[in-house]
Chain A
């Protein structure tokens, strides 16, 4: 990867010809813009990028880029992304989806990509609702929320995506929002550049089923940049402390960046391959393993 970034690519080079199916005003329009900008800043050619998603409104996003896209099945963006990364560690691999995709149906995968330190950037467009199926309770919906599957109010506490990934030991954890597109692009760029599993939670309003307080105006009212709070992103405990305010405050920027990133899974795989391939017989002779003299 070109670490310096060049001006060779413009954001528009990452924009495909497909017209998004999103509702007018959907936060995901800003997210895809942020991704175009981040990718242009990094300057990786589109054909060296694999972008995987699951199912949901936001999971349409790979199709709106010129990268190799994979709009897969519900909740399984991460397993597929890690297979791609293991098969070809030279690729830049992005995964994206909604809060339901990532923290409900696919919620079991995140922990394992984190502990493997797969060098994948995972962007969750968190809108606290199931939009594609027309407005049901999501894993990040706040307790008491009234939706078409919770007419009398939700009885469940929401998942806190930031604490969730911090607790599992993610090396890079950040939050962004369409309220600050420049900041979002910079955060995504930093996440992609981080050598290891990177997570970006983006508060992306659902204009059709979202609540008033979760629209741009409401989000602006509760947003604060972590930089303005003087937060040190190398301090994991401070990051966890701040992350507890998920849902009340909208902290923007990098919560945690491991100052000494450990080797990625890909690095370790390469090491093992180098070590074991030295004295390997050709694969045409693999059956010799079964010879009994």
Chain B
């Protein structure tokens, strides 16, 4: 019996692969399993290749998994387009459409012999039972229920609910297709059973959502009253959530004429006293950079979500990457610090988004939430979250005494000045992108500029002491370390567990706060470290370089960095860690050699 299974399915756009994945995830949740689902597409709107990866486990899931346990190919051409996104290994069961005409011993996977290969007449079964090939995805779900024991009841319960409005006939057709798939599996048992053990938490309430919806819900919970944005893949669902829900809470949303107007309106709403937000992806972040500088010098709270995709320029618009790190930290000209936070999963997107609003409000600054396509689009099953445990911070407003002689940019001990907003008597001031004195009046003075730059940068010092924005796992004195953030952090958490199970003395640092770089936290973490990896989905090793810019890194620390789209596998990270261990052993042995 298995505790954990990773499915990868691919087909053409109309095959309903993603909808099958969603049904499987929901059925798994109903049966008490933890689940994670990611989707990946070509850039075509209709047709083209479409895939999903569903991981189901009795234990909480840290990432979408490495090599597939089960691969489903409705046709090989589309499956192969995903390459290393859907990695097949010697432990994979491969199920594919028999109508492709390819014999089981000639499937087009180079350099790998799967555990078992099964051709199934999926289209034919769909047609003979449901009368249409469109039921292929339901046949696949039946096969999965039969072979792996997931969703025997729950899948059809979900489909029944989903199709209820479309009539009993359609539901019955799907039931027949599902039953046919399941019967086929029963008649052709796997060489080695891969049934998943039953979950002990069956019947408990579970949430299912993705990173974008979670981000928008968290923003509304944090008190966000305005969203200004422009459609861009893969962030658009955040704006869509606002258009569905923000009105209910007295807020509003503007699908602006362009990226600049979207953030501009959010800057205006913040000036007017409301918590506000915009969301975008790489190209939009580039366009928004001037406004981000404006919000920094005008000291206006604002949350900017950047859902990263492959760059530069249009890059890989539907695939994940972490290469906006430099742009998030350094876009917009001038000397400026803009906090950058990164969630590592759908679950912690809730906390990170609230934190972004709290930091924006407290420090009166734009804050970037650096999400990525994988977190944005992946669906996770979650245990219910107790929202009352989250503290909400609001901006410091001037007292009536302070309004007697109000100075918007007054120098204070902690460099944070009470902020008024239109409508507040006595609080009128000029907000501006031009340098200004304490009252807000424009100035060209070099001395004032120096003082104001001091104010605007020193105010962030306490942020670097926020140890709660970092996660350290593993033996704190371990000589071998990993550093990873965003969706890659989950892969490294699993790699850590695997490495520890093999007896490796390793630890992991996951920063949720990427910028400003908290030198102290890294210094403490690196004290015991002799060798280590900064693992990241960037071609230029941006994280490694960002850290090196701020910290004296251990000599044995090096990047494990590559471009996005293709996932990091926990197994390859463990292999890299083992290399570090043997290097370390060799160097110790070297040190023990008697000196000549």
A, B: real partners: yes
Give the B-binding residues of A (Cβ under 8 A): 18, 45-50, 52, 55, 60, 62-63, 66-73, 76, 78-88, 90-91, 108-109, 111-112, 269, 272-273, 275-277, 280, 283-287, 289-293
The 4 closest A-B pairs by CB, nearest first: A83-B268, A79-B264, A83-B265, A280-B248
CA distance A139 to B252 in the complex (A): 34
**A residues in contact with B260, CB < 8 Å:** 76, 79
Least CB distance from B263 to A in Å reads: 8
B90: Cβ under 8 A from any A Cβ: no
CA distance A91 to B221 in the complex (A): 26
Q: Secondary structure at chain B's binding surface: helix, strand, loop or mixed?
A: mixed
- Residue from A48, A71, A111 having most chain B Cβ neighbours under 10 A: A71
CA distance A166 to B426 in the complex (A): 38
Q: Which residue of B lies closest to A271 (CB)?
A: B247
Contact call A73/B271, Cβ cutoff below 8 A: no
Q: Which residue of A lies closest to B294 (CB)?
A: A73
B431: Cβ under 8 A from any A Cβ: yes
Contact call B385/A88, Cβ cutoff below 8 A: no
Contact call A87/B217, Cβ cutoff below 8 A: no
**A residues in contact with B205, CB < 8 Å:** 291, 293
**B residues in contact with A72, CB < 8 Å:** 264, 267, 294, 431-433
**B residues in contact with A78, CB < 8 Å:** 261, 264
Pick from B247, B264, B274, B429: contact of A277, CB under 8 Å: B247
- Report if A284-B264 is in contact (Cβ < 8 Å); known contacts: A76-B291, A292-B30: no
Additional A-B contact list (20), CB under 8 Å, known A63-B432, A83-B268, A277-B248: A47-B428, A69-B432, A72-B433, A73-B293, A80-B268, A84-B269, A86-B269, A87-B252, A87-B272, A87-B273, A88-B423, A112-B257, A112-B261, A273-B251, A275-B247, A287-B217, A287-B387, A289-B217, A290-B214, A290-B217
B249: Cβ under 8 A from any A Cβ: yes
**A residues in contact with B262, CB < 8 Å:** 79
Q: Pick 25 A–B contacts, CB within 8 A, sort by A.
A: A67-B428, A69-B440, A70-B431, A71-B431, A72-B294, A72-B433, A73-B293, A76-B264, A82-B254, A83-B226, A83-B266, A83-B267, A83-B272, A83-B276, A86-B265, A87-B269, A87-B276, A88-B272, A91-B423, A112-B256, A112-B261, A287-B387, A290-B208, A292-B26, A292-B381
Q: Which residue of B lies closest to A286 (CB)?
A: B217
**A residues in contact with B388, CB < 8 Å:** 284
B549: Cβ under 8 A from any A Cβ: no
**B172-226 residues at the A interface, CB under 8 angstroms:** 205-209, 213-214, 217, 220-221, 223, 225-226
- Residue from B213, B248, B290 having most chain A Cβ neighbours under 10 A: B248
Least CB distance from A272 to B in Å reads: 5
Least CB distance from B348 to A in Å reads: 14
CA distance A52 to B273 in the complex (A): 15
Least CB distance from A1 to B in Å reads: 13
Contact call B290/A66, Cβ cutoff below 8 A: no
Pick from A60, A67, A81, A289: contact of B268, CB under 8 Å: A81
Contact call A73/B433, Cβ cutoff below 8 A: yes
**B residues in contact with A80, CB < 8 Å:** 264-265, 267-268, 271
CA distance A73 to B208 in the complex (A): 42
**A residues in contact with B268, CB < 8 Å:** 52, 70, 79-87
B167: Cβ under 8 A from any A Cβ: no
Annotate B280-317 by CB proximity to A: 1 below 8 A, 0 otherwise: 00000000001101100010000000000000000000
Q: Which residue of A lies closest to B266 (CB)?
A: A83
CA distance A286 to B217 in the complex (A): 6
